[in-house]
Structure 1
Amino acid sequence: MGERSRRLILASRSAARRAMLTGAGVPFETQDAGVDEDAIKTRLTGIAPADLALELARAKALAVSGQHRDAWVLGSDQTLDLEGTMVSKAPDLEAARLRLLSMRGRTHHLNAAAALAHNGEVVWSGVDTARMTLRPFTDAFLDHYLAVEGEALLGSVGCYRLEGMGSQLFVRVEGDYFTVLGMPLWPVLDELRRAGVIAT
């Protein structure tokens, strides 16, 4: 397979997704998809959170694939379902505080989706879900957590990074670690092998 056909572009600004692929030894480039996520969410009002994650991942992959038709393009997205209510990223630390208070002692579902596009078409997509239960942490702990983590939390839909101090917020996590970080890595690696992007 030629060098150009092995080219992979991650259509994401996510540091966690970049770290996952780098850690797995997958060579890739990155490009922001420039997708209007709010417009897609508005158009798909009422869609199940897991299905929305898939639609956003597909939209990101297609947006970049249209510009680089020779490359394989990986789009990914994540949605949070809190007992039937879809939760979006917090705009500031006060909103993050309220978000975490609303989730304290409760269970939510974190959906991570990915889509692989080539020549302007989605050739594969998939979604995985983790079940996350926050412990009944104290207000004092929450204050400390927000002070330590700061605005870095705003990049995560749940206002936590499980790979950091956010791990202390939880009493139970059921599901794949990579799904929690933002991408269903095992299925993605399977598809990259199938496509010939990485070695079998």
Structure 2
Amino acid sequence: MTKTSLILASASAVRAMLLKDAGLEFDVEDSRLDEEALKQGFAGRDDVADTDALALRLAEEKARTVSRAKPRALVIGADQILSCDGQRYDKPKSMAEARANLQAFRGRPHILHSGVALVANDVVIWSHAAQAQLTMRDFTDSFLDEYLAQVGERVLKSVGCYQLEGPGVQLFERIEGDYFTILGLPLLPLLAELRKHGIATL
């Protein structure tokens, strides 16, 4: 593999930043996967293991979609799902939905399920799932209003309506898990696997 034969099958600026900061050279191809159709196959399967499996499946299918067009490349797929009290959440579609989601997360723990996969020639050659548990403070409605006014529509870019690297960190009282998993890309196991392919060497 050459350095230019690595592709990230994601439009996520955060995932691209993590890979770039780790010293990798890669191209970006948005898979444009129909995620809703795939999620329907997991409807009613809401426990932790099933949500892990869904995050992995989404990561794998994103990578496979790009791999079919670029069969000689090694393709990274990644996805993340949030679950709280057995319910899965997608990225909010409006500020009102973001506010309602944050009210639902307030004062209780939620889980971020992150999946990552490597695909070559439409074959999944490696995959990994990881979890992080985050507990939000029991903040007031006035604090929530101030937070949303400060961050604005940036909350719509995150499944949890926050970015820990910004003001969103003030929503939390406890965080348990790997930082990269929280950002949506379990980076350390991915780098370990890429080194086996001669890609993540410095």
TM-score between both structures, scaled by the size of structure 2: 0.94
Shift of 1:44: 2.4
Cross-structure match for 1:25: 23
For the Cα contact (< 8 Å) 1:7–1:197, is it kept in 2? no
Secondary structure of the residue aligned to 1:50 is: helix
Amino acid paired to 1:61:
A
Q: What is the aligned counterpart of 1:164 among 166, 177, 187?
A: 166
In structure 2, C-alpha distance between the alignment counterparts of 1:126 and 1:198, rounded to whole Å: 17
Cross-structure match for 1:77: 79
Shift of 1:198: 2.1
Secondary structure of the residue aligned to 1:163 is: coil
Output one character per residue of 1:78-98: Cα deviation in whole Å (capped at 9) or x when no partner.
011102111111101110000
Cross-structure match for 1:40: 38
Output one character per residue of 1:32-87: Cα deviation in whole Å (capped at 9) or x when no partner.
00100001001222332111100000000100011101111000000111021111
For the Cα contact (< 8 Å) 1:108–1:131, is it kept in 2? yes
Secondary structure of the residue aligned to 1:191 is: helix
Output one character per residue of 1:127-186: Cα deviation in whole Å (capped at 9) or x when no partner.
100010000111111111111111111111111111111100000000000000111001
In structure 2, C-alpha distance between the alignment counterparts of 1:22 and 1:177, rounded to whole Å: 16
Q: What is the aligned counterpart of 1:103 among 81, 85, 105?
A: 105
Larger mean Cα displacement after TM superposition, 54-63 or 138-147: 138-147
Secondary structure of the residue aligned to 1:132 is: strand
For the Cα contact (< 8 Å) 2:2–2:199, is it kept in 1? no
Q: What is the aligned counterpart of 2:115 among 103, 107, 113?
A: 113
For the Cα contact (< 8 Å) 1:65–1:117, is it kept in 2? yes
Q: What is the aligned counterpart of 2:191 among 189, 192, 197?
A: 189
Larger mean Cα displacement after TM superposition, 79-88 or 91-100: 79-88
In structure 2, C-alpha distance between the alignment counterparts of 1:51 and 1:15, rounded to whole Å: 24
In structure 1, C-alpha distance between the alignment counterparts of 2:44 and 2:60, rounded to whole Å: 18
Where does structure 1 lack aligned partners over 5 or more consecutive residues? none
Moved over 6 A (4+): none
In structure 2, C-alpha distance between the alignment counterparts of 1:136 and 1:166, rounded to whole Å: 14
Cross-structure match for 2:2: 3
Amino acid paired to 1:115:
A
For the Cα contact (< 8 Å) 1:53–1:113, is it kept in 2? yes
Q: What is the aligned counterpart of 1:13 among 11, 14, 17?
A: 11
* Residues 128-147 of structure 1 aligned to structure 2 (within 5 Å): 128-147=130-149
Where does structure 2 lack aligned partners over 5 or more consecutive residues? none
Sequence identity percentage: 47
Output one character per residue of 1:103-147: Cα deviation in whole Å (capped at 9) or x when no partner.
100001101110000111110001100010000111111111111
